[in-house]
């Protein structure tokens, strides 16, 4: 998939809010067309492994669980920990994604799926930015990018540093991939009508807390994402009061 967006002198794409939906839809139409219009879980594992041929590994990435995931931009070796939490290393090739062991298990599935989509988004958007051949950015090039809880969060925050901007881009694209615009809006309006009536324009917690929880929870379940990620996606479409 070739991106044709303007780039900053350092190689980072200049992207606006609506660009992420365009990139996600371009990707999904090519590999997983059925999810573009029909609400349902986006098979992020299939997209990453079978469509884009990127490998995913699971390791103890830090001793204190501060790193949730990472992606390699070139062939490299990362520090990690074995099952007894003794320091070791692991060899990666460019495009490999590694998730932290703490994301294993059924309860962690929405977070694991979002982290996978976040790392895939770094690969799609930022590999030219981090490329070893990107001489402009050579001083800051990294072989791999570790992401923690604060980076993999789509809560609104000020974009002060280049890193903030980079993480915001990865989160925005991850949300657009896991909750594709048209399927998401279709599902959201259906839940809105069902819980708040045909005249309702937005989901409002103050109007009815229980209905709000049920409606947003239903949408989250359809896309197998977290409640919080669903709220933020609804907010992006101005559907939350």
Query: 82: which 2 tokens?
Result: 């074995």
DSSP 3-state of 78: strand
Q: Which stretch binds Zn ion (CB under 5 A): 3-11, 77-85, 162-170, 223-231?
A: 162-170
151 is a site residue for Zn ion (CB under 5 A): yes
Minimum CB separation from Zn ion for residue 128, in Å?
16
CB closer to Zn ion out of 24 and 200:
24
CA 43 centroid distance within chain: 13
Task: Using the rule CB under 5 A, give the single segment among 33-41, 82-90, 123-131, 149-157 that binds Zn ion.
Answer: 149-157
Q: In this complex, which beta carbon is closest to Zn ion, that of residue 4 or of residue 64?
A: 64
Is 147 near Zn ion (CB under 5 A)?
Answer: yes
Name which of 47 and 97 has its Cβ closer to Zn ion: 97
* 92: Cβ contacts below 8 Å, ≥ 6 apart: 57, 72, 75, 76, 77, 78, 98, 144
Number of other CB atoms surrounding residue 123 within 10 Å: 21
Output the smallest distance, CB 140 to Zn ion, in A: 15
* Beta carbon of residue 82, minimum distance to Zn ion (angstroms, whole number): 24
Contact (CB, 8 A) for 151 and 93: no
**Token pair of 31 as six digits:** 């590999």
Measured distance CA(113)–CA(225) in Å, rounded? 7
Residue 117 near Zn ion by CB under 5 A: no
> Of 151 and 191, which has the nearer Cβ to Zn ion?
151
Cβ at position 211, least distance to Zn ion in Å = 34
Burial environment of residue 185 by CB neighbours within 10 A (0 to 12, 13 to 18, 19 or more): middle
Closer to Zn ion by Cβ: residue 128 or 204: 128
Give the residues lining the site for Zn ion (CB under 5 A). 147, 151, 167, 170
């Amino acid at each position: 998939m070739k991106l044709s967006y303007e780039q900053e002198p350092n190689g980072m794409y200049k992207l606006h809010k609506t660009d992420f939906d365009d990139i996600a839809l371009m990707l999904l139409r090519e590999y997983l067309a059925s999810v573009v219009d029909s609400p349902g879980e986006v098979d992020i594992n299939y997209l990453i492994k079978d469509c884009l041929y990127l490998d995913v590994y699971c390791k103890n990435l830090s001793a204190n669980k501060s790193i949730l995931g990472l992606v390699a931009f070139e062939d490299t070796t990362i520090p990690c920990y074995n099952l007894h939490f003794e320091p070791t290393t692991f060899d990666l090739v460019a495009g490999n994604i590694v998730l932290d062991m703490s994301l294993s298990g059924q309860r962690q599935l929405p977070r694991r799926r979002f982290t996978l989509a976040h790392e895939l988004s770094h690969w799609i958007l930022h590999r030219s930015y981090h490329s070893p051949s990107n001489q402009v950015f050579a001083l800051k090039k990294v072989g791999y990018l570790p992401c923690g809880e604060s980076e993999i969060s789509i809560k609104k925050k000020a974009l002060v540093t280049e890193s903030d901007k980079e993480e915001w881009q990865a989160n925005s694209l991850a949300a657009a991939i896991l909750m594709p615009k048209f399927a998401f809006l279709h599902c959201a309006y259906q839940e809105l009508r069902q819980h708040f009536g045909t005249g309702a324009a937005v989901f409002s917690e103050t109007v009815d807390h229980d209905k709000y929880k049920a409606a947003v929870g239903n949408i989250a379940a359809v896309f197998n994402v977290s409640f919080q990620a669903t709220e933020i996606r609804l907010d992006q479409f101005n559907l939350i009061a």
